[in-house]
Amino acid sequence: MPVELNHMIVHARDNRESAEFFAGLLGLEITAEWGPFIAVDLSNRVTLDFATIRADEITLQHYAFLVSEAEFDAAYARIAQRRIEHYADPHRQHPSEINHNDGGRGVYFMDPVGHFMELITVPYGGRPS
């Protein structure tokens, strides 16, 4: 069996708030709840399992998601509609902009906890030939 990423645990102050933020922004659904976890399935069979933990124990992470052009348009419209602070770059030098790296589009923003999220339409290095 090939090695595949199955799930990631995403630290949250409030697992429901973070799961609903993420799912709502990307047009996904919450798919399961068990114990301290609320899961959101991604299209490649990976789940993000949001877990409520104490604020002083949260380790902020960076999560990058490869999305289609249509998914990017829809998510970016939600970012703008919700007035979510966003940037074209990870250094936050270009606020309220998107980038066109590698022949695609990308944007960075924070979730309710402060995890740095990234949406890209083309993988780093460009489209596969």
Task: Copy the structure tokens of residue 123.
Answer: 């993988």
Within a domain: 73: yes
CATH number at residue 97: 3.10.180.10
Q: Where are the beta strands (DSSP E) in the chain?
A: 7-12, 30-34, 37-41, 47-52, 62-66, 86-87, 106-110, 116-120
- pLDDT at 17 > cutoff 90: yes
- pLDDT at 45 > cutoff 80: yes
Longest Cα–Cα distance in the chain: 45
Within a domain: 2: no
Within a domain: 106: yes
Number of compact structural domains in the chain: 1
Residue range of the domain that includes 98 = 7-50+60-120
pTM score, whole prediction = 0.93
Predicted confidence at residue 77, as pLDDT, reads 98
Predicted confidence at residue 129, as pLDDT, reads 65
Within a domain: 127: no
Residues above pLDDT 90, as percent of the chain:
95
Classify burial at 70, counting beta carbons within 10 Å of its beta carbon; exposed 0-12, middle 13-18, buried 19 or more.
exposed
Would you say 38 and 27 are in contact if contact means Cβ atoms under 8 Å apart? no
Within a domain: 17: yes
Rounded to whole angstroms, the Cα distance separating 42 from 7 reads 10
Within a domain: 85: yes
Angle at 19 between CA 17 and CA 9, to 5 degrees: 120
